[in-house]
Structure 1
């Protein structure tokens, strides 16, 4: 196919999508006259009328509808090939803005950021550590890491990169002085160290006889930092339910002991979310790909 033939097809598809030669010309960086000539040339070559034209609107003929449906797929395939080749050549550069959960970000994402900065000298990263659910598009973030099932949001894409298992635990020191709880109901007899988010206590979620059972038994200590709760639990101040990525090293070393494992809820997904863009920049795409590679399996497991 000669190049001008392809340009004529692109002018035709753009005219249909935009609804006028003028709007299509603006999208393509051409004059209205050039777009009109492309359509005439295409109709002449195919010996059919593709568009019904009035001074105010365009509408497709039956032949135009058939050509449009075929050509849209062709142009999308060409774009995909171009994107793939550009992606292979591209090196992440520019400034990547991300929002990270505080504990997961500090304990495990920072190491990944360090590796990316070392591998890609042209990349700069702005990382915000917050457990608040930011509005990516409104606040200008390129990506965020969130924990839990996806919410309905057609403007965002999501990719699961790991899982978070909540683990109820206590220190050997605490258990030497108190009997271990055997069921979630026994937690009423223990000082429970709860996480505070947005001014409210987050419940500990268990599953009893197949049914979800949220539990809140606030003790004398409540914090909005998972890392601080972890330190208090290791010190023997009470029981806590904390993410596996916070406590797994202590469970392996014996500094903490898991409790009520038979009643634990299913693990929740850890997801990267990012705005839905057809041409995703290399800095976002490669950062996510590299994170998936680094967390297969997750370093805390």
Structure 2
């Protein structure tokens, strides 16, 4: 029995809460994992997991084994990562979760070169605008764009900034006129982003201070890309992060509204369940992403 492999499989089963999900992550069958855990329990002379058709839970001995296995695997990972980093070798399977639009506009452009630099690395990129449970999802790294992150057991590092500004198409402004003050926005058609904390209340910071503007968006969408396209089509005024607005603004498809004002700056956070930089593949990816940003 390869005890390190069995430890790793056992911890993955516990973290994922399922033999099937752990098997998918590890690229083996659930039946094989079940046999491995049974052999492990037989060798230890105790039951580690209690299983029914609907649930699975750790016994007291299982919790003791899981905690010890996590410490051992963590120590092995740190040693391997340190040696790989020194040799410039990055390998393994990197699982990343990121917001949809950030994946489309930023990650998709930096990934080809990153993969070319690290041919031995396997990457899974999951795009989801909802905040996911990293541990349950089996992710090594989650990228989140927020004004700030709530306290949690996870570790986070700010790796970039995002500016959020107000935009409209020239055709819309020709038809409806351009607002000259933040309060003028209340007389205009606006488009809201369903997943934002500023769906109908925009805080606009400018030279004369901060303005809180209450709006009633006629259209509300759950995709920043759809919002951008609606703005380009002349359906109103809305806010966009700079990594989405930059190209449309450069082409003249969108123009800044109230150019001296913008929403509070957001930040790009790299979130992991372990110490950032301890894993060579995570560290290599973040170095590449920082350069891209």
TM normalised by structure 2 equals: 0.66
Structure 1 segments unaligned to the other structure (5+ residues): 1-79, 296-301
Gap change, CA 1:90 and 1:155, over 3 Å in 2: farther
Distance 1:203 1:167 in 2: 14
Cα-to-partner distance string for 1:205-262 (whole Å, 9 max, x where unaligned): 213643451533211x221110011011111111111111111122222211101232
Question: CA offset at residue 155 of structure 1?
Answer: 2.9
Bigger radius of gyration: 1
Question: CA offset at residue 137 of structure 1?
Answer: 2.3
1:1-301 counterparts in 2 under 5 A? 84-153=82-151, 155-197=153-195, 201=199, 203-207=201-205, 209-211=208-210, 213-219=212-218, 221-277=219-275, 280-295=278-293
Cα-to-partner distance string for 1:147-171 (whole Å, 9 max, x where unaligned): 1244344532222222111111111
Question: CA offset at residue 274 of structure 1?
Answer: 1.4
Gap change, CA 1:121 and 1:195, over 3 Å in 2: same
Equivalent residues of 1:150, 1:158 under 8 A apart: no
Gap change, CA 1:212 and 1:180, over 3 Å in 2: closer
Gap change, CA 1:278 and 1:230, over 3 Å in 2: closer
Distance 2:149 2:276 in 1: 21
Gap change, CA 1:202 and 1:87, over 3 Å in 2: farther
In the other structure, the counterpart of 1:41 is none
Gap change, CA 1:103 and 1:273, over 3 Å in 2: same
Distance 1:249 1:138 in 2: 36
SS in 2 for 1:227: helix
Gap change, CA 1:190 and 1:149, over 3 Å in 2: closer
Q: Which range is displaced more, 152-161 or 96-105? A: 152-161
Equivalent residues of 1:184, 1:215 under 8 A apart: no
Gap change, CA 1:81 and 1:99, over 3 Å in 2: closer
Distance 2:147 2:276 in 1: 24
In the other structure, the counterpart of 2:21 is none
Cα-to-partner distance string for 1:23-77 (whole Å, 9 max, x where unaligned): xxxxxxxxxxxxxxxxxxxxxxxxxxxxxxxxxxxxxxxxxxxxxxxxxxxxxxx
| Higher relative contact order, chain-length normalized (CA < 8 Å, sep 6+) | 2
SS in 1 for 2:235: coil
Equivalent residues of 2:186, 2:213 under 8 A apart: no
Cα-to-partner distance string for 1:72-115 (whole Å, 9 max, x where unaligned): xxxxxxxx999655421152222111111111111111122222
TM normalised by structure 1 equals: 0.64
Equivalent residues of 2:82, 2:280 under 8 A apart: no
Q: CA RMSD in A?
A: 2.7
Gap change, CA 1:162 and 1:279, over 3 Å in 2: closer
Question: CA offset at residue 136 of structure 1?
Answer: 1.6
